[in-house]
Amino acid sequence: MTNQTVCMTANVPRLIKAQRDTFTHSYAFIAELMQNARRAGATKVDFNFDETTNILSIEDDGHGIQSWDKLLCLAESDWSNPDIDEESPFGIGFLSALFSAQVITIRSRDGVISADTDDLLSGEAIDIETEDFFDGCLVQLCDLHRKPTANQINHQVALLASGFPLPVSLNGMQLERPCALPNLDAIPTEIGMIRLPENPEQFSFRALIYLQGLPISRMGRLCHQPSSFRDMPAEREIQNQSIIHLDPSAFRARLPDRDCLVDEKLAVNAIREAMKTAFRSHAEQMKASRPERLTYCLDQLRDVGCHDLLNDVPYIPPGLVSPLSDEDRQLPSNIEEFDRRFCASENQKPIPMADVVDGKLRLVAQSDLSDRDEDKPHPWVAQLVKLGYSRLEDGLHEDHWVNQHLLDTGAIRVDAIVPVNPKPVSRFTVDYANFDLVYCDAVRVESSLGVTVINDALVAGEAEPYYVTARAHSHDLGAVLSYFDYDDDKVDNDHRSDCEERFSAWMKAQAASDPAELLHGLLETLNLSGFSDLRGRSFKLSVGGDYKLTVEAA
């Protein structure tokens, strides 16, 4: 019995033509020809495009084509072993040039070929003409299939030149290469060369990423999925983002036109880790030379996870400290208001350690003011406002020196909350909650902080009621309403405004010295707009000894 054998074969003409649909970008041939020039040892690449004739020429001064056979051989490369080992040329990219135009002419050294690209792709033999020696390589693409405009060619060539190591010209004009390694103050890392933003305060994980001198992706601040590199980076983008030239021996691009990285998620993780290391090294240098300036980079240090570098810097970073105010005695009604209220001035400067150590600045942690276990603000918060404390926002490392100088709010002991000249308890009702209020001239708070008299706020007792002092404001009602809707969002702003108006009327009634004025103020707290039968009517009201109300038609 004869054993049968089988082996892999290929329909070469069909395989070659099928490659047309593997290129993801119609201008991939421009990048391929630029790469060929660089690998050939060229010192420059010159493009010329005539929109009228639809002809694009690419010329370089490299060593030229060594083997015409290898140029037109699929998956074969004529580059040196070092280039092959480091950059892994695929031997496929030149197909993109054949797919881009109807006719191609190539002149290099002492040979010239000119042919219809369909004939080349079909495998027909093409004559190599002999001419005078030409130093370099000239590729002329005639009748480009896409019939691009001059603007489209300008855009593509400029984008590809932005980080290219060789000078590139288009129609005699030198193109800018702001992201090219020769023009960057980049540092070597395990992934390649990294240029951090010129201003350390702009550092983030945003990056413009290049491989073999060509743009391959943009990386967002928190994005593990880089976006395509389709547009020329703006000057501001270049200044405020990192620029990375990946090591071609460590990173691979996807066949055939290198439009994205292989194992992209793993690659991005490696890039982020290298950026962290580079930024920490830069921050350590800044700490040694300009420690105060480093405090302006707190957000960036936190993103990278190295804000511990500030632990022994004798300054509090700007923007973290702001004086406590009357509004701190109540909880904000929503997160947006909280952010607005507690955001310190952007113009604030670093605060010297001496101001805190000497007691000139007394601090309480923001988390101790906002993370309240009970459904009411602590009465001692009003004391801190009166005593001149300032708030320290969260964000510093747990071992930062300032944490040793914060007020220990857990040790505060409230001994007594005594209203001054209180009136009887009054029940205040909204659609979703009821609570007791006591109007008084002031509230005397006695605690381990001392004795403080408060006459301009709503103060919570150890249990209900809430004490409303004579100079309280209607927005102080938020100190009560927020406990019922802070998480559940039970009321909208219009409803809250209505409640605050009723609260103002209630306060006016409580402050009234005349009984009729008092009753009028109380009635204003009722919303009668939905009761049309009462409109224009008169009534006689009587209040009995048991506070029971009697109403008769007048």
Q: Which residue has the higher pLDDT, 414 or 172?
A: 172
341: pLDDT strictly greater than 50: no
Measure Cα distances from 354 to 281, 309, 316 in Å: 28, 19, 10
Q: Supply the pLDDT for residue 226.
A: 54
What is the tens place of the pLDDT at every residue in 252-297?
888 777 778 888 889 999 999 999 999 999 999 999 999 999 999 9
Predicted confidence (pLDDT) per residue in 149-177, tens digit: 999 999 999 999 999 999 999 999 999 99
Closest of 382, 376, 345, 350 to residue 364, by C-alpha: 382
CA dist 30 and 549 (Å) reads 91
Average pLDDT, the chain: 82
Give the burial class of 48: count Cβ atoms within 10 A of its Cβ; 0-12 exposed, 13-18 middle, 19 or more buried.
middle
| Element of type H or E holding 285 | helix 264-289
Q: Tally Cβ neighbours within 10 Å of residue 151.
A: 9
pLDDT in tens, 356-377: 999 999 999 988 875 444 556 6
Tell whether the model's pLDDT for residue 145 goes beyond 70: yes
In angstroms, what CA-CA distances link 131 with 114, 128, 257? 13, 10, 32
In 117-206, DSSP assigns E strands to 129-144, 168-170, 173-174, 187-189, 192-195
Least confident of 31-35, 121-125, 266-270, 301-305: 121-125
3-state helix, strand, coil split of the chain in percent (to 5) is: 35, 25, 40
Classify the C-alpha dihedral 349-355-361-367 as positive or negative. positive
Residues ≥6 apart with Cβ < 8 Å to 514: none
Phi, psi of 141 (to 5 degrees): -110, 115
Q: Which residue has the higher pLDDT, 216 or 474?
A: 216
Tell me which of 34-38, 121-125, 236-240, 333-337 is least confident. 333-337
Nearest-angstrom CA–CA distance, 266 and 252: 12
Identify the band that residue 340 occupies on the pLDDT scale cut at 50, 70 and 90.
Answer: very low
Using an 8 Å Cβ cutoff, are 267 and 261 in contact? yes
**Cα angle vertex 235, ends 230, 241, to 5°?**
75
The widest CA-to-CA distance across the chain, in whole angstroms, is: 123
- The pTM of the whole model exceeds 0.85: no
Mean pLDDT of 174-193: 95
Using alpha carbons only, give the angle 428, 433, 439 rounded to the nearest 5 degrees.
Answer: 25
Give Cα separations from 259 to 36, 218, 264 (angstroms).
17, 12, 11
Does residue 536 contact residue 554 with C-beta atoms inside 8 Å?
A: no
Report residue 401's pLDDT band, with 50, 70 and 90 as the boundaries. Answer: very high
**525 is written with which tokens?**
């707290």
